A = this chain, B = another copy of it.
Amino acid sequence: MLSVEQACEIILKVIEPASGEVVPLVEANELVLTEEVRSDADSPPFDKALMDGYAVRSADCHEGIREFQIAGEVLAGQAPDRPVAKGSAVRIMTGAPIPPAADCVIPFERSRDLGNGRVVLEVERAKSGGNLARRGESLRRGDLVVAPGALLGPAQIGALAEMGKAAVCVIPRPLVAVLATGDELVPADAIPGPGQIRNSNEVMLTAQCRQAGASPVPLGIARDSRDELRTAILQGFAADFLCLSGGVSAGQRDLVPSVLADLGAENLFHGCDVKPGKPIWFGRLPAQRAPDSRPHWIFGLPGNPVSSMVCFELFVRTAIRRRRGIVPALPTLVHAVLTKSHVSTDSRPTFFPAAVTLTSDGFQATPLNWKGSFDLQSTAGANALIRFSEPREFAAGEQVSVLPLGRSVGGV
């Protein structure tokens, strides 16, 4: 049976990052840039005051002049052209261009206005370039601002705006259709009858999609009937990814794989050596068989809620990150120290719900009182999964690998 790593390799192999689309810069946050952006101008575009004060010639200060003639004022947004004469000081505001010949700003805190058009300045610490930014000091015209492949955050967005990029080419959020299957399911706001349970997977997977930077398209519940499944799956093919839960085990009502096959989907793997999540199904609808002539990828997640959740984190999130162009697409595990001993009984590598905290000594992981793939309630307190790779007792203090869930570990 495939290992988690082998399954992820298949996912990375068959999914390519999507093409870029031009969007307004303000919508580009947390998306990957697909173009190279170079500066269209020097930054700053002019020598610029960094404090409110007086622009002077530093040479005057070094010659011992302390009292200066106030020769006008420059506000932010103005363009001074008259050079500052020897012995003169020009009032200047933060962000305003330094007038010609001046090369230093003495802040107001180090000045005393004499009231007669003259000012005394504390010139002792004056130096050429003091309290100003030189034209091009941050970036020269033509320099790289952001490279293709960068995941844009607030600082990059600001840097791009400074360079006049009001629209950028980025990889859009993929659409992920979410379909829960099973005769036993009723909607979350219904009272389950005998043998029934509520559809908890839809809202959970929808939330996981959002957290992974995808746009979820919830499709409700499909009964275990070929017709109902067929209709719902065809709807799901409008999205980039279709994420089903349930119906992928070995039972006779596990119709998902065969209905998918009827609709032209290829199976790329079925089953993975992992707990929970062993029955996972992954495949694709090739572009030539798709109604919209684009490829679609399909995950059949096991129906038990914790299996669904873990398979999403390991496989669907990897696929989404890959499609979004994020590097690395693979799940990033971090090292943590076990706070108490734990016996892992299954021969499969097990991803066990845990509470992880970040201390000054690094991450610490406490396995929760988790009872199995049906037990979403214990998992609700988890912010990470510990990977127990073999069936043995893991001792308190031992180092383990941990997969953080969302952005919940270490306040990051």
A residues adjacent to B (C-beta < 8 A): 25-26, 29-30, 39, 41, 43-46, 48, 50-52, 75-80, 93-97, 108-109, 133, 137-139, 143, 145-146, 151, 153-167, 182-185, 187-208, 210-211, 218, 224, 246, 249-254, 303-305, 309, 328, 332, 334-335, 353, 358, 360, 362, 371-380, 382-383, 404-412
Chain B residue with minimal CB distance to A137?
B371
A138 interface neighbour in B185, B202, B251, B377, Cβ under 8 Å? B377
Chain B residue with minimal CB distance to A332?
B411
* Cα(A48)–Cα(B303), bound, Å: 13
Q: A377 and B43: CB pair below 8 A?
A: yes
Q: B153 and A44: CB pair below 8 A?
A: no
What are the residues of chain B within 8 A of A109 when measuring CB–CB?
250
Chain B residue with minimal CB distance to A209?
B154
Q: A159 and B380: CB pair below 8 A?
A: yes
Chain B residue with minimal CB distance to A308?
B158
Q: B206 and A372: CB pair below 8 A?
A: no
Q: B405 and A155: CB pair below 8 A?
A: yes
* Cα(A153)–Cα(B95), bound, Å: 43
A159 interface neighbour in B80, B96, B377, Cβ under 8 Å? B377
Q: B25 and A158: CB pair below 8 A?
A: no
The 6 A-B residue pairs with the shortest CB-CB distance in the complex, in nearest-first order: A158-B204, A332-B411, A77-B183, A79-B194, A166-B189, A77-B184
Q: A157 and B204: CB pair below 8 A?
A: yes
From residue A368, how far is it (CB to closest CB) to chain B in Å?
11
Q: B188 and A25: CB pair below 8 A?
A: yes
Q: A334 and B410: CB pair below 8 A?
A: yes
* Cα(A30)–Cα(B210), bound, Å: 10
Q: A29 and B194: CB pair below 8 A?
A: no
A207 interface neighbour in B29, B146, B410, Cβ under 8 Å? B29
A95 interface neighbour in B44, B108, B197, B405, Cβ under 8 Å? B197
Asked whether A158 and B201 contact (CB < 8 A) given A165-B188, A250-B52, A375-B133, the answer is yes
* Cα(A271)–Cα(B204), bound, Å: 44
Q: A157 and B249: CB pair below 8 A?
A: no
Chain B residue with minimal CB distance to A97?
B195
What are the residues of chain B within 8 A of A138 when measuring CB–CB?
371, 374-378
Asked whether A46 and B194 contact (CB < 8 A) given A95-B182, A183-B75, A253-B93, the answer is yes
Chain B residue with minimal CB distance to A411?
B332
Chain B residue with minimal CB distance to A153?
B406
Q: A161 and B411: CB pair below 8 A?
A: no
What are the residues of chain B within 8 A of A166 when measuring CB–CB?
187-189
What are the residues of chain B within 8 A of A192 when measuring CB–CB?
41, 45
Which interface residue of A139, A195, A373, A379 has the most chain B CB atoms within 10 A? A195
Q: A153 and B405: CB pair below 8 A?
A: yes
* Cα(A211)–Cα(B185), bound, Å: 35
Chain B residue with minimal CB distance to A384?
B412
Apart from A76-B183, A161-B198, 17 more pairs, CB < 8 Å? A26-B203, A26-B207, A29-B207, A77-B182, A77-B184, A77-B196, A80-B195, A95-B303, A138-B378, A158-B201, A162-B188, A164-B198, A165-B188, A328-B411, A334-B358, A334-B412, A410-B410
What are the residues of chain B within 8 A of A190 when measuring CB–CB?
164
